[in-house]
Structure 1
Amino acid sequence: MAQLIQQGAEAKVFALDFYGRPAIAKERFAKTYRHPTLDKKLTSRRVVQEARCLFRCQQAGIDAPAVYHIDDVRNTIYMEHIQGRTVKRALVDGEGDTALAEQLAIKIGKALAALHRIQIIHGDLTTSNLYLRESTDSLVLIDFGLSYHSNLIEDKAVDLYVLERAFLSTHPNSEATFDGIVRAYVKQAQDGKQVLAKLEDVRLRGRKRSMVG
């Protein structure tokens, strides 16, 4: 029996059994403020886009939930239910453990470099959307609901900036951890130095917007 475990602005997420495997079903719901025909088209496009990004991650050897089935009538993706804990939980439980923070930073930096190498922008990077797989301790990227394909340096830099803001707002005194993520990213990414330079520009724009209000 499906159990609702999360509801956001775009979708409902249910935990269930899918032919003997623990799974989640992510169901995108209709937006009543949009014209029904347009809404159906946009919602279907987002479901397909998310599934494609997950497939591409699997093909590239990036740890992400395996897709089991796509229901294009109900705009639902059935996928692997990751057993483990979020990076957010790991950092909270291990507060003050610098060795743990360094290890996580390297894993995150490498995973994001691999993701950007196949030209996928996650779009919603937070420590709640990064999991540690229970069986292997591998870093898993989840929730590709806002993901898209892009080879632009700007988009990659913004992806990192979103994660940085998430770190600073959720994990006090985490500047060193994020610096470790950036170092690992630059080492692994094909265009790491360019992305780092653009990240500085994005940060500057963000500070200006904050000052203006």
Structure 2
Amino acid sequence: MPKKYRHPMLDAELNTKRLKNEVRTMGRAQKSGVRIPCIYFVDKDNHLMFMERVDGLTLNSYLIYLEEKTESGRLISGEMSKNHDRNSAHACFLNSALYDQQRVYKMLENMTSLGITTKDIARKLGLIIAKLHKSSLVHGDLTTSNIMLTAKDLDIVLIDFGLGMTSSQVECYAVDLYVLERAFSATHPGFIEMYQQILEAYNEAGMKKVIRRLDDVRLRGRKKISIG
């Protein structure tokens, strides 16, 4: 989307560079074995990218669903719990995603029949992130909203590489993990154990240097928050 506060020529140049970078990063991720949406066409003139529609749910939506299920003691229905805060993130999710109930149910049935747990998802995700970093790729915005679970085969798909880049710096990989950690602590505090399982799988993939650097990144992050 054009930025009105920028000079048109500068805006077009920046958008072109970002589009090229995103396409390039996604292509390299795919070659490394990380599943991403298939790119069908890139319109450089209008700065548009046409991609495969991933049939599934974001990890963010799925975890919020599980949280709601745990809190209410039942599967999502079309009604709100009487004690439910309508202004909460859960209420927003329910209001916006009720149309997706059947897909959620089907995915849960598939996971149950296959014996798949959140621990299985966490370990698989940890290995995928390790594979991405071993290929000198950084996602740049690794949140649960940019991780999808496919409805058909419950595979993991990474999306939105707009801030992605190529880097061989351990620091960049650690920041990727820290962004994901913040997403879990802020949005899914009840699933912190799942994040730890992601780190365990990542560490087992031979990424111990990154795990050690993550402690430094956390410390800087806490200092920044305390200073304001």
Structure-2 separation of matches of 1:150 and 1:33: 31
Q: Which residue of 2 aligns with 1:198?
A: 213
More strand by share: 1
Say which SS state the counterpart of residue 38 (structure 1) adopts. helix
Superimposed CA distance per residue, residues 65-91 of structure 1 (whole angstroms, 9 cap, x where no aligned partner) = 011000001100001110011112222
Structure 1 residues 100 and 92: CA distance shift in structure 2, 3 A: farther
Query: Partner of 1:53 in structure 2?
Result: 25
Higher-Rg member (1/2): 2
> 2:172 is matched with which residue?
155
- In the other structure, the counterpart of 1:106 is 123
Which of 39, 64, 89 is the matching residue for 1:92?
64
SS at match of 1:91: helix
Q: Shift of residue 134 of structure 1? A: 1.5
Alpha-carbon distance, 1:32 to partner = 1.8
Shift of 1:92: 2.5
Q: Distance in 2 between matches of 1:173 and 1:94?
A: 10
Q: Deviations over 1:174-199 (max 9, x none)?
A: 2211111111111124xx11101110
Q: Which has the higher helix share?
A: 2
Please state whether the residue corresponding to 1:78 is helix, strand or coil. Answer: strand
1:118 to 118, 127, 135: 135
Alignment partner of 1:208 is 2:223: yes
* Cα RMSD for the two superposed structures: 1.6
Under a length normalisation based on structure 1, what TM-score does the superposition of the two structures give?
Answer: 0.81
Deviations 1:140-189 (A, max 9, x none): 00011111111100000000000100111110232211111111111124
SS in structure 1 of the partner of residue 12 of structure 2: helix
- Return 69-78 or 112-121, whichever deviates more: 112-121
SS of the residue 2:189 aligns to: coil
Alignment of 1:67-78 (within 5 A): 67-78=39-50
Structure 1 residue ranges (4+ consecutive) displaced by more than 2 angstroms after TM superposition: 92-97
Displacement after TM superposition at 1:36 (Å): 1.9
Tell me, yes or no, if the aligned pair for 1:69 and 1:79 is still in contact at 8 Å: yes
The 1:199/1:185 distance shift into structure 2, 3 A limit, reads same
> Using the alignment, how far apart are the partners of 2:172 and 2:144 within structure 1?
19
TM-score, scaled relative to structure 2 = 0.76
Give the AA of the match of 2:126.
Answer: G
**8 Å Cα contact 1:67-1:80 kept in structure 2:** yes
Distance 2:64 2:120 in 1: 15
Q: Which runs of 5+ in 2 are unaligned?
A: 71-111
| Contact 1:55/1:66 (8 A) holds in 2 | no
Residue aligned with 2:168, SS: coil
Give the Cα separation in 2 of the matches to 1:141 and 1:101. 17
2:155 corresponds to which residue? 138
Letter in 2 for 1:113: A
**Aligned residues, how many?**
182
